[in-house]
Amino acid sequence: MGKASLRKKSGIKRALLYVPLTVYAVIVVYPMVWLLSASLKTSRELFVSPWKLPEVPQWDNFVRVWSKIGIGQCFANSVFVTAISMFFILLIGSMAAYALARFVFTGRDAIHSVFMSGMMFPVFLGIVPLFLLLRNLGIWNNYYGLIASYVAFSLSFTIFILTGFFKSLPHELSEAGMIDGCNHFTVFWRIMLPIAKPGLIAAGIFNFFGIWNEYPLALVIIANDKLRTLPLGIAALVMQQQYETDWGALFAGLVIVMLPTLIVYLFFQRQITEGLTAGAIKG
């Protein structure tokens, strides 16, 4: 067989690969397109013609779910909890990672391995003791307890990513800073953090998805309706709509939960795929 025909044959085979690739892409995308269309329909349309596009887009579904049903409040809560948690995770995590990566001291390896082993423990193992602890400390059912738990549960992973970054920075950098009269803290803040920005971004992205989407801890720690984060709000909405059947508003709520993750995903797609696999290959 000539080389040209061999290449042609493999070309046809490659073209055939598009069939399964496209089929699975449709399986992934179709439910979301359906959701988008459903979020703009009336409840009657959903029953009578679930497959068709909305006759008149019902933007009011979004208005109702946002203000009357209170998903807007949940959205604000989620923004608040995610922002504060991420700030503390990145600050505290990068400080610890810096100390563990750049200094030699007794007990360093022990502390490092205690942090790393945290990635193996399932959240639910400690959920009852955590619940009782927060209740005893008087920070159950409020954001102090939720944010403290989010920070504590995210530190292992964050320190894992950031220690790698700090280790890879050349030692001359901090020495030069010290000679210029900076103390350790200024070196960290002015020299190391700006250079470690890619690491901070990577850790930030993964923590964003982790916390924005987090469900089990919030379910256990938050009982007050007004404090609900978005995943709690949506889950509660489903229960409620079983009786009120305002499906259009429910679907609009789902779109509202998914939209920020979609935006962040589109912006940081490269970092997300790279970070996902880099962590995997190194680990």
Who contacts 193 (Cβ-Cβ below 8 Å, separation ≥6)?
Answer: 94, 200
For other proteins, give the closer residue by CB, 10 or 168: 10
Helix, strand, coil percentages, rounded to 5, for the chain: 80, 0, 20
Min separation Cβ 18 and other proteins, Å: 7
The letter for the amino acid at 91 is L
Q: Where are the beta strands (DSSP E) in the chain?
A: none
Instruction: Annotate each residue in 167-186 with x if it binds other proteins (CB under 8 A) or - if it does not, as one string.
Output: ----------------xxx-
Q: Which span (54-62, 64-72, 163-171, 233-241) binds other proteins, by CB under 8 A? A: 233-241
Q: Within positions 193 to 212, which residues make up the interface with other proteins, using CB under 8 A?
A: 209, 212
The interface region with other proteins, picked from 59-67, 125-133, 168-176, 194-202 by CB under 8 A, is 125-133
Name which position in 96, 193, 200, 202 contacts other proteins (CB under 8 A).
Answer: 96
What distances in angstroms separate CA 80 from CA 140, 144, 270, 277, one per listed residue?
17, 12, 26, 30
What is the DSSP annotation of 139-205? -TTSHHHHHHHHHHHHHHHHHHHHHHHHHHS-HHHHHHHHHTT--HHHIIIIIIHHHTHHHHHHHHH
143 binds other proteins (CB under 8 A): no
Nearer to other proteins, 133 or 201 (CB): 133
Among residues 95, 169, 173, 201, the one that binds other proteins under rule CB under 8 A = 95
249 binds other proteins (CB under 8 A): no
Q: Which 33-72 positions form the footprint of other proteins (CB under 8 A)?
A: 34-35, 38, 46-47, 50-51
Asked if 221 contacts 145 with a C-beta cutoff of 8 angstroms, the reply is: yes
| Interface size with other proteins, residues (CB under 8 A) | 88
In the bound complex, what is the minimum distance in angstroms from residue 155's beta carbon to other proteins? 5
- Which of 12, 14, 56, 181 is in the footprint of other proteins by CB under 8 A? 14
- Asked if 113 touches other proteins (CB under 8 A), the answer is no
Question: Using CA atoms, how far apart are residues 175 and 169, in angstroms rounded to an integer?
Answer: 12
